[in-house]
Structures are given as structure tokens and as C-alpha cells.
């Protein structure tokens, strides 16, 4: 999620590119993304590029908002230390 | 949320690391290479304009510009396969139209104004190119305008304050600046 919200709003990233970036397996990333998609935090776009299937992932507006709230909450915990 | 300060600190550090890695990897996909290549082209082109004379400078600029355009197109195609914009086709059409109109406007303005020398012609062309860069950059992100504004400012300072070494000024500060920015994005951003 941290990686997806770093992208500019409206940008989506290729699944294999994200997998290599995060250094995780296909299965691991797929499971994470499924949970985030079910929660409405990310959108998955399956398409064809040069006749090859490709999966693109992007953060939704709701996902960006919730992630920002999560970061603010973590910072608040640190400040109250 | 039942999280200890230590866990919060670790989570924030992990978020920071991933965000930085994402920015860095996306930059590695093309932005820094594009800046470095354009910087080298400017460095070589303006150096030749400062120290050489005659038609060779024109041919050198044409050759370098063609090389730069081919490399930039290749890089953009490669990058667009990894990260692409959801409204890319509409944006791409607008960007193409802006550049087309600007090219026509640039030729018309140069024909009417008839710049007196190479320096004026250079400033005209760079101003139009930077206007296109700023306009199209704004369609994609606000942060992309700063390099363009910096180049315009440096060019105008060189043109008005240091006319004798204008091309050298553009080579070192314009071309060198782009190379430095490209290296900064690659290794520090």
C-alpha cells in the first residue's frame, strides 16, 4: 500500500514490476492485493499489452485516505511517547 | 489501535523505506536517464556553439536532437509498460496537440521576429520548448515544473548578464544542471 500511494494519483503499476520492487513472491503479493481489493483500497485492472496479459494495480481514493489516516495515527503514537 | 511506540516507529520506518524505494525505482525507469541524456546533448551542443563556427554546429545540433528524441521515445515506451496513467490516452492526445500547436507557433514567431543572431534564436527555441515542457508537465504533476523554471531563469540570466559566454553558460549550467539533477534523482532521491 505504501508503494501504491507513492505513485501519482491516477497511475497504476504492473503486477510483476511491483513484485520485483517489493521482493515478494507472486502468491504472497497476490494474496495481499486480494485483501486490499476486497476492502476497496486498491483497484486491479486486467488488460492486454501487445497481446500479452498484464495486471495493473492502483490505489483508490478510499485507499489513499485510509493509508494517510494510518500514517497520522502511527505518528500520533510516536508523539505521545 | 493497540500499537506500542516501538512498533509504530518500525512501521513508519518500513513505510518510509518502501515509499523511497518506489520513487527511486520509478525514477530509475527513465526520468534520470532522460535528464542525463538531454544534459549531455545540451552540453555537447552548446559547447560546440561556443567554440566552433559554421554549418557544422547546425548539423551537430540536428544530429544530437534526433538522437535525443529517439532515446526519449524508447525510454517512454519502456516506462509506460511498467507504470501507466489511467487516463493516458486522453492526456497523450492533449500533450501531442500542445506540442504541435507550439511548434507551429514557434516557427511563426521566429519568422515574424527574425532573430538577429544565434543567441536570440537559441533563446527563442529554448523558451518555446520549455513552455511546452511546463504546459505538458502540469498535466501530469505539479512538481515537474521546477526544472523547467530553473532552466528558463538560468538561460535569461546568461543571455542578459553574460552574452559573451552565453553558450558556455548554457552548456555548463543548463546541460550540467540536467546531468546533476539526473544523478541526484538516481542516487539520492
Whether B78 and chain A come into contact, CB under 8 Å, resolves to: no
**Which residue is closest to A48 within chain B, CA to CA?**
B81
Inter-chain CB pairs, A–B, below 8 Å:
68
Tell me how far apart the alpha carbons of residues B167 and B122 are, in angstroms, rounded to a whole number: 9
Under 8 Å between Cβ of A6 and A58: no
> Which are the contacts of B45, defined by CB distance < 8 A and separation ≥ 6?
B60, B61, B64, B65, B171, B175
Chain B closest-CA separation from residue A14 CA (Å): 5
Chain B closest-CA separation from residue A4 CA (Å): 8
Whether B90 and chain A come into contact, CB under 8 Å, resolves to: no
The reported pLDDT for the residue numbered B161 is 93
Write the pLDDT tens digit of every residue in B131-172: 887 887 776 666 667 878 888 898 899 999 998 999 999 899
Contacts of B25 in chain A (CB under 8 A): 21
Query: Could you list the pLDDT tens digit for every one of the 81 residues in chain A?
Result: 877 777 777 778 888 888 887 888 989 988 988 998 898 888 888 887 777 788 888 888 888 998 888 888 888 888 876
**Which residue is closest to B14 within chain A, CA to CA?**
A2
> Which are the contacts of B161, defined by CB distance < 8 A and separation ≥ 6?
none
B153 φ/ψ angles, rounded to the nearest 5 degrees: -60, -45
3-state secondary structure B15-37: HHHHHHHHHHHHHHHHHHHHHHH
Q: Do B8 and A7 touch (CB under 8 A)?
A: no
Least confident of A50-64, B54-68, B71-85: B71-85
| Average confidence (pLDDT) over B8-16 | 86
Q: Give the pLDDT band of residue B5 (cuts 50, 70, 90).
A: confident
Q: Do A7 and B22 touch (CB under 8 A)?
A: yes
Under 8 Å between Cβ of B42 and B35: no
User: Residue B113, Cβ neighbours under 10 Å: how many?
Assistant: 11
Chain position carrying cell 542516487: B187
Q: Do B81 and A49 touch (CB under 8 A)?
A: yes
The reported pLDDT for the residue numbered B75 is 73
The reported pLDDT for the residue numbered B28 is 56
Q: Which of B23, B85, B140 sits opposite A6 (nearest CB)?
A: B23
* Single pTM value for the model: 0.59
- Strand A11-14, strand B83-85: pairing: antiparallel
**ipTM score of the complex?**
0.79
Amino acid at each position: 500500500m505504501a508503494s501504491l500511494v507513492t505513485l501519482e494519483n491516477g497511475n497504476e503499476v504492473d503486477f510483476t514490476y511491483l513484485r520485483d520492487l517489493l521482493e515478494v513472491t507472486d502468491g504472497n503479493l497476490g494474496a495481499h492485493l486480494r485483501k486490499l481489493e476486497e476492502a476497496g483500497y486498491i483497484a486491479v485492472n486486467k488488460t492486454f499489452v501487445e497481446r500479452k496479459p498484464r495486471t495493473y494495480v492502483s490505489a483508490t481514493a478510499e485507499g489513499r485516505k485510509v493509508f494517510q489516516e494510518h500514517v497520522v495515527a502511527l505518528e500520533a503514537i510516536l508523539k505521545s511517547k | 489501535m493497540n500499537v506500542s511506540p516501538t512498533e509504530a516507529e518500525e512501521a513508519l520506518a518500513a513505510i518510509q523505506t518502501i515509499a523511497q524505494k518506489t520513487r527511486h525505482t520509478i525514477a530509475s525507469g527513465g526520468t534520470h536517464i532522460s535528464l542525463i541524456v538531454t544534459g549531455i546533448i545540451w552540453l555537447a551542443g552548446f559547447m560546440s556553439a561556443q567554440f566552433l563556427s559554421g554549418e557544422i554546429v547546425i548539423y551537430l545540433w540536428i544530429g544530437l536532437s534526433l538522437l535525443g528524441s529517439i532515446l526519449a521515445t524508447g525510454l517512454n515506451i519502456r516506462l509506460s509498460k511498467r507504470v501507466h496513467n489511467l487516463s493516458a490516452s486522453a492526456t497523450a492526445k492533449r500533450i501531442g496537440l500542445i506540442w504541435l500547436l507550439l511548434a507551429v507557433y514557434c516557427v511563426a514567431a521566429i519568422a515574424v521576429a527574425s532573430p538577429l543572431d544565434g543567441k536570440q534564436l537559441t533563446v527563442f527555441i529554448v523558451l518555446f520548448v520549455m513552455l511546452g515542457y511546463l504546459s505538458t508537465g502540469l498535466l501530469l504533476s505539479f512538481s515537474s515544473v521546477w526544472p523547467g523554471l530553473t532552466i528558463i531563469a538560468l538561460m535569461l540570466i546568461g543571455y542578459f548578464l553574460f552574452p559573451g559566454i552565453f553558450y558556455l553558460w548554457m552548456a555548463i549550467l543548463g546541460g550540467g544542471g540536467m546531468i546533476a539533477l539526473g544523478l541526484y534523482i538516481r542516487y539520492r532521491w
